[in-house]
Amino acid sequence: MHSRPIRGVVPPVCTPLTPDLEVDHRSLERLVAHLLDGGVDGLFVLGSTSETAYLPDRHRAEVLRTTTAAVAGQVPVLAGAIDMTTLRVLDHVRAAEEAGCDGIVATAPFYTRTHPAEVEHHFRLLAERTELPLYAYDLPVSVHTKLDADLLVRLAGDGVLAGVKDSSGDDAGMRRLLLALRHRGITSCSVLTGSELTVDSALRTGAHGVVPGLANVDPDGYARLFRHCADGRWDAAGTEQERLFDLFGLVEAGDPARIGASSAALGAFKAALHLRGVIDCPVTAPPQLPLTADEVLLVKERLISAGLL
Amino acid sequence: MHSRPIRGVVPPVCTPLTPDLEVDHRSLERLVAHLLDGGVDGLFVLGSTSETAYLPDRHRAEVLRTTTAAVAGQVPVLAGAIDMTTLRVLDHVRAAEEAGCDGIVATAPFYTRTHPAEVEHHFRLLAERTELPLYAYDLPVSVHTKLDADLLVRLAGDGVLAGVKDSSGDDAGMRRLLLALRHRGITSCSVLTGSELTVDSALRTGAHGVVPGLANVDPDGYARLFRHCADGRWDAAGTEQERLFDLFGLVEAGDPARIGASSAALGAFKAALHLRGVIDCPVTAPPQLPLTADEVLLVKERLISAGLL
Amino acid sequence: MHSRPIRGVVPPVCTPLTPDLEVDHRSLERLVAHLLDGGVDGLFVLGSTSETAYLPDRHRAEVLRTTTAAVAGQVPVLAGAIDMTTLRVLDHVRAAEEAGCDGIVATAPFYTRTHPAEVEHHFRLLAERTELPLYAYDLPVSVHTKLDADLLVRLAGDGVLAGVKDSSGDDAGMRRLLLALRHRGITSCSVLTGSELTVDSALRTGAHGVVPGLANVDPDGYARLFRHCADGRWDAAGTEQERLFDLFGLVEAGDPARIGASSAALGAFKAALHLRGVIDCPVTAPPQLPLTADEVLLVKERLISAGLL
Amino acid sequence: MHSRPIRGVVPPVCTPLTPDLEVDHRSLERLVAHLLDGGVDGLFVLGSTSETAYLPDRHRAEVLRTTTAAVAGQVPVLAGAIDMTTLRVLDHVRAAEEAGCDGIVATAPFYTRTHPAEVEHHFRLLAERTELPLYAYDLPVSVHTKLDADLLVRLAGDGVLAGVKDSSGDDAGMRRLLLALRHRGITSCSVLTGSELTVDSALRTGAHGVVPGLANVDPDGYARLFRHCADGRWDAAGTEQERLFDLFGLVEAGDPARIGASSAALGAFKAALHLRGVIDCPVTAPPQLPLTADEVLLVKERLISAGLL
C-alpha cells in the first residue's frame, strides 16, 4: 500500500503529555482516532508540531510505538528523525524502523555550518542506510538552511528522496520544484506543503499533500478542503481554506511579548485539543511557557466561532 | 579542588575516531595526555570542537568515560550537554554526572523559536536538576540566539551559572559582562572566551580563561600565552598570540567552495594532530567532507613554520 | 481615473541606459510603448527592476519625466521613492509630484535600526506630506524588515495607505492581509504581488494586481494571464503562468559564482529587451557586472522557446 | 599634512538640528570647537552618528561646508559618502570634494544583492574617480555585508584604500586584517575601530585610530585614552576605557520596547550634548522617536556620575 507516493492530508500529530511530562498514551490514542475519524490520509509523528525538539529519546520511542499500534496499518505513518547530523539522525531512523513506521522525514544538518555538498551527502547517506522512503524536510526557520530546488530534484531523480515536506513558506520555490519534477518526468516524489494557509493554492499548482499542524484541531476541515481540491471545486475549497485561516488565528492567543512562537502555536493546538475533549492535559514541554487562562479563553472563542465547540 | 571558578586554558578536546567512525579510545587517551603535558588547566569535552553535534549518544558516553578515566582528577573536566531543549539536555547532564565530570556546559535552546524568558527558564531548570556547576555556552553561529549580558549577570548573581563560555566573537559584549559582574561584586562566575585569536585582549580585560580549539594542536603555546598574561608580560603575550594567529591559518586549508566551515576547521585540527602523531586517524564524522591531500599539505606547512613538526 | 484602487498588470519598468550610463530616453519611450501595447494597466517606475538603487537623483528625475510624458495619462504611473529614511524619501516624493506621477511607492526605513512604531510613524509622515496615493513596498530582501500585516491593515484603515506592493515572497502573509482587509470592510487598499511566479494563486486569493519584472520582457503574457484570472479561466491561467515560469528561467543565465542576483536578473531582463529590439543597449549600472556572451545566448534560447524571438 | 595615514581619535560628529529639522549651524560650530578643544585628531562627518541616513542631500552639503569652515584645516575631515551604489555614492564624493574634505568613507553597496566581486569593483571605481583618500566602512549591522579581510588587504595593497573604519564588532577579524597588512608590509592603510568599548584592546593590537560616537559627549576622555595607549600606560588606559564603558550606558536610557536602537543611541548623545550646553536642541530626525523626560534624566545621571555635568 505505501509504495506509492503519499497523497492527501497527513497531519503532524501533537504529542499529549501528562502533568509530569510523560507521554500520555491514552490521549495519544484518542488523538490518533480523532484524526483517522476526521478522514486523514496519513500521520506524521515527531515533527515540529509533535514537540520533537522537546522530547527525550525515550519519549520519542514511546510516541512511535503507541502511534503505529493505534494506527495498525490503516494509513501510512511517517516519522521525523530530527537531529543535528547524519549519525545522530540514523539512530532515530533505527527507532522508527523498529516501531514499524512507513517513512522517514529528515532535515538538513543544523547547529553545524554545512556546505551544500555536505547536505547532499547527508541525504544520500541516510537513504543508503534505510529501506524506508525518505522525505526531506525543508524548514529554514529551524534549520537555518533552505533546501535548494535543484538539489531536491537531483535527489528525487536518483531515488534518494520519496518526497519533500516544504515548510519554507516559499510558495514560488515549491512551485518551481513541482514544475522541475514534472519537466524531468519524476513521478515518484511527493511534495507536501507544511502550510496551514495556502493549501488550495499549493494543491492547485500540483502539490500532492498537506501537513497542517492545525489539522490536529480540525481534521475534518482539512479533509474536506483536500477533497474539494481533488474534485476541482475550487470556490468551495477557497471558502473552506478561509474558514481554516480564521481558525488558525488561535495561534495568536499567546502574547508574543511574554512567550515564544513555539509556545504560542503548540500551546494553542493543545489547548484546543483539550477543550475539544481529545486530550487530557494541555501541558507543553519545557522550557515552553503555558498560555494564561485568558489566552485559553481566546482559543475557546475561536473554536466556538468555527463551530468546533 | 573544583569548587572555585575555573581559570586558565581549558581546551575543547577533539574526538578521535576510527576509520569506521567508532571512538578511538587509545588516541583519545594520547590526546588527553598531550594536553595535560602541555600544561592546560582543564578540559572541555563534547563541545563544537569535539564534533558533539556529529556524535551519537553512545559515542558521547564513551568520550566522557574515557576522558574522565584518563584525566583521573588532575584537572576539572567540563562536559557539553548539547541538545535542542531542556529535557533532552538533561539526559546528557545525567550521562556527564555518571561519568564523573566536574561541570556542565549548555546552550540556549535551538531549532525552536524561544522567547528570552524561556531561555532563562531553561537555564534555571537545568541548574535545579544538577549538582554540577553550570556554564552557559554563548554560540550564536550555531544556536542563532545571542545570550543577553543582563540575563547572564542575573543568572550568575542567583547562583544558577558558575560561568559563561563566550564564543560569540563579541568582545565588547564580553567586556560588558565582565564589568557588570564586577560592579555587582559577583566573583563566583568564570568567563571563558572561546576565541583562539583575542586571548591576550580577553584576559587583559578580565576574562578568567580560554577555550581555544587550536590548543589541541599547540597546548604549550596557549599555556605560555596564559602565563604571560597572568604575569603581566603583555608584549610577550602579544607576540605569542600573533604566532598562534598565524598557526590558526590552518583552518583555511580546506577550500570553502567545496566543504563547510566545520569540515575545514575540525578537519585541519585532526590533520594536525595526526601529523604530530597524537591521533591515529584524522577522519571526521559525516556529513563532513575530508581535506584533500593537497589541503593536508597546507596544514603540514603551517605546522612546520610554527615549529610544531 | 486614478482615484480608484489600482488593478491589473503594473510592470516595474526597466531603465534603459546608454553605454556611458546616461538615461537612454529613446529606448525608454520605446519600452513604455512596448508595455502599453502589451496591454498593461499601469506602470511602476523607480522600483528595484528600474535599478533605482543604482540611479543618481538626476537620472531618477529624467526617468520620471520621460515616462509620464510618454504615458500621457493613458495609465497611472506609480513612482518609487526609495531611500533610507523619511526626509530623504520626501525629496523623492517631491520629484514624483513635479513629474506628474499618480502614486508613490515607499519602503520602511533601511540602513538604520528602526522600531516598528517608527516604521508606522514613517508611513504616516509620508502620507501627511503628499496628496498622492501612498503604497507600502514590502521587500525584506532589500530592506531587512518585514512589514507586519496588522500594521498595514491599520494604515489602510486610516487612509494612510492606498495599497501594498508585496515582494516578500510570503504568500500566506499576503493572504492574511487580504482577508484582514476584507473582514474590516476596507476596499480602498490595492494589494499587488511582486511575484512573477504565483500570479494566478495571488489573484485567486484576492490580490488586485501584479508587478512582475518579467513583464518587461513579455507584457502580453502577463496581460493574458491577468485576463484569464479576471474571467475565471483558471486552467488557462495556470498554463500561462507555467509558460512564464519557464521564461523566468532567463534570470538564471548569469553565473551566481561570478555575479550577484541583481546583476543576473536585471542583466537578463535588459539582454532580453535588447534581443527583442526594444532597447538599444543592455548595459546595467555599476557595480553590477555584465552577462557574458554565452550567458546572453542562454537568454536568447529562453526567448526562442517562449516564442518571443 | 593629510597624506600620512590618519591616526588618533576621529569622532563621528553628531549633526545638531533645529526644532524644524534644519541643520543648526551655530550648534555644529560649537560642537566642532568642543571636539577640537577636547584634543581630537580628526573628524568624521556624515557617518551613522551624524544621522547621515536621515539627512537630505541639502542638509548633508550644509554639514560638510560648515564643518570644513569651522575646522579650517586644523585636523583632517573625513566625509561619509553613504548611499546604495556606486553612482549615487559618487554624487556624495563630489559634494565632499567641493566642500574641501580630506577623505571619503564609503560602505559596500546596500539594498541590492551584490557579489563580492562587485563589492571590489565598487571600491575600485570610487577610488578611480576621486583624488581623495578612500576609507572602507565595514558596518554589517546597516549594510548586511561583512567586508572580507582578504579583499581589504588586496585593495589596500593596490592603493585603492587609504584605510578601513571597522564597525563590525569583530575584533578578531580586525586583528587578522592588521596582521595581514603587517605581513605584507603595507603601511599606507589606517585601520580605525568604530568601537567605543574596546579601544585599548584595538590600539594594543595595532589599530591606528578610533571613531567613537561617544567622543561627542566626552572627547577629552577618548583623547586621554588614546594618549595612554600611545605612551604604553596600559593600566591607566584600561581604567579610562572602563570609565567610558560606564558612560556609554547612556545609550540604554531609551526603552527598546518603545524606540529603535538608532533613536536610543543618537537621542542619548544629543541629549547629553544638550545637557552639557554644546548644542541648542536635542531633536533627532524622523522617523526616530525622542527620549522621554524620564529617559533624559537617566542620561543626566550618567553624565553626573562621569563628572561631565
Query: Which residues have C-beta within 8 Å of that of residue D297, sequence separation ≥ 6?
Result: none
Question: Which chain B residues touch A263 with a CB distance below 8 Å?
Answer: 115, 118
CB-based contacts of B33, cutoff 8 Å, min separation 6? B70
- Chains adjacent to B (≥3 CB pairs closer than 8 angstroms): A, D
pLDDT of residue B86: 98
Indicate yes or no: CB of B238 within 8 angstroms of CB of D169.
no
Residue range D44-56: average pLDDT?
98
Task: Say yes or no for a CB contact (<8 Å) between B179 and D205.
Answer: no
Spatial separation of the C-alpha atoms in residues D65 and D216, rounded to whole Å: 19
D201 and B169: CB-CB below 8 Å? no
Q: Do D263 and C115 touch (CB under 8 A)?
A: yes
Q: Is A5 a residue whose pLDDT tops 90?
A: no
Interface residue B179 vs chain D (CB under 8 A): yes
Q: Which residues contact D162 (CB under 8 A, 6 or more apart)?
A: D5, D6, D103, D133, D134, D135, D188, D189, D190
CA proximity to D11, closest of D147, D168, D189, D209: D209
Q: Does the structure show a pLDDT above 90 at A209?
A: yes
Which of A118, A260, A288 lies at the smallest CB-CB distance from B260?
A118
The C-alpha atoms of residue D235 and residue D204 are separated, in whole angstroms, by: 12
**Backbone φ, ψ for residue A92 (5° rounding):** -70, -30
- Asked whether the beta carbons of residue B238 and residue D205 sit closer than 8 angstroms, the reply is yes
The pLDDT of residue C4 is above 70 = no
pLDDT tens digits for range D224-274: 999 999 999 999 999 999 999 999 999 999 999 999 999 999 999 999 999
**In the predicted structure, residue A1 carries a pLDDT above the cut 60:** no
Nearest Cβ partner of C172 from A198, A205, A234?
Answer: A198
Query: B198 and D172: CB-CB below 8 Å?
Result: yes
Q: Nearest CB to D198: which of B169, B175, B195?
A: B175
D195–B198 C-beta distance less than 8 A: no
Q: Indicate which of C193, C195, C201 best probes the interface with A, i.e. most A CBs within 10 Å of its own CB.
A: C201
The CATH number of the domain covering residues in C8-231: 3.20.20.70
Q: Does A298 touch chain C (CB under 8 A)?
A: no
Mean pLDDT (chain D) is 97
**Amino acid B5: pLDDT:** 78
pLDDT above 70: percentage of residues in chain A? 99
Q: Calculate ∠ Cα D6-C111-D76, nearest 5°.
A: 20
Q: What is the model's pLDDT at position D25?
A: 98
Q: Does B110 touch chain D (CB under 8 A)?
A: no
Q: What are the E-state strand segments in chain D?
A: 8-9, 43-45, 77-80, 103-106, 134-138, 163-166, 190-193, 209-210
From CA C168, how far away is CA C45, in angstroms rounded?
A: 19
Q: Among partner residues B53, B91, B113, which is closest to A56 by beta-carbon distance?
A: B91
DSSP assignment of B131-200, as one string?
Answer: SS-EEEEE-HHHHS-PPPHHHHHHHHHTTS-SEEEE-S-BHHHHHHHHHHHHHTT--S-EEEE--SS-HH
Using DSSP, state whether D12 is helix, strand or coil. strand
Of A21, A54, A114, the CB nearest to B262: A114
Residue C172 to residue A195, Cβ atoms within 8 A = yes
In chain A, residues 221-260 whose CB comes closer than 8 Å to chain B: 256, 258-260
Closest chain B CA to residue A125: B287
Tell me which residue in D91, D125, D286 faces C125 most closely, judged by beta carbons.
D286
Distance CA C135, CA A205 (A): 29
> What number of C-beta contacts closer than 8 Å exist between B and D?
57
Residue D1 has pLDDT above 90, yes or no: no
pLDDT confidence tier of residue A154, bands split at 50, 70 and 90: very high
C57 at interface of D, judged by CB pairs closer than 8 A: yes
Three-class secondary structure of residue D150 per DSSP: helix
pLDDT at C3 (0 to 100) = 54
Query: Is A192 a residue whose pLDDT tops 80?
Result: yes
The 3-class SS string of chain C reads CCCCCCCEECCECCCCECCCCCECHHHHHHHHHHHHHCCCCCEEECCHHHCHHHCCHHHHHHHHHHHHHHHCCCCCEEEECCCCCHHHHHHHHHHHHHCCCCEEEECCCCCCCCCHHHHHHHHHHHHHCCCCCEEEEECHHHHCCCCCHHHHHHHHHCCCCCEEEECCCEHHHHHHHHHHHHHCCCCCCEEEECCCCCHHHHHHCCCCEECCHHHHCCHHHHHHHHHHHHCCCHHHHHHHHHHHHHHHHHHHCCCCCCCCHHHHHHHHHHHHHHHCCCCCCCCCCCCCCCCCHHHHHHHHHHHHHCCCC
Q: Do C117 and D141 touch (CB under 8 A)?
A: no
Query: Are B87 and B52 in contact, with CB atoms under 8 Å apart?
Result: no
How many other C-beta atoms can be found within 10 angstroms of the C-beta atom of residue C64?
A: 23
Instruction: Label residue A154 exposed, middle or buried (CB < 10 Å: 0-12, 13-18, 19+).
Output: middle
Chains A, C: CB pairs < 8 Å? 57
Note the pLDDT of residue C174: 97
Say if strands C209-210 and C190-193 run parallel, antiparallel, or are unpaired.
Answer: parallel
C259 CB neighbours in chain D (<8 A) are 115, 117-118
Chains that touch D (3 or more CB pairs under 8 A): B, C
Q: What one-character DSSP code corresponds to residue A77?
A: E
Q: Is some CB atom of chain C closer than 8 A to the CB atom of A198?
A: yes
Percent of the residues in chain B that have a pLDDT greater than 70, as a whole number: 99
- Mean pLDDT within B152-167: 98
Q: Quick: pLDDT tens for B23-72.
A: 999 999 999 999 999 999 999 999 999 999 999 999 999 999 999 999 99
Interchain contact B188–A (C-beta under 8 A): no
Beta strands in A167-263 (DSSP E): 190-193, 209-210
Does residue D287 have a cis bond before it (omega within 30 degrees)? yes
Residue B272, helix vs strand vs coil: helix
A140 touches chain C (CB under 8 A): no
Chain D: give the shortest CA distance to residue B174, in Å: 10
CA-based nearest residue in chain A for residue B124: A287
Looking at the predicted structure, is the pLDDT value of residue D138 above 90?
yes
Residue D6: how many other CB atoms lie within 10 Å:
23
CA B246, chain centre distance (Å)? 20
Q: Which residues in chain A touch residue B167, judged by CB atoms under 8 angstroms apart?
A: none
Of A90, A109, A287, the CB nearest to B122: A287
Subunits adjacent to chain A (3 or more Cβ pairs under 8 Å): B, C
Question: Which residues on chain C are in Cβ contact (under 8 Å) with A169?
Answer: 169-172
Q: How far apart are CA B126 and CA D286, in angstroms?
A: 45
ipTM confidence score = 0.97
> What average pLDDT does the segment B151-179 reach?
97
Q: B137 and B107 in contact (C-beta within 8 Å)?
A: yes
Contact B54 A88 (CB under 8 A): yes
- Name the β-bridge partners of D243: none
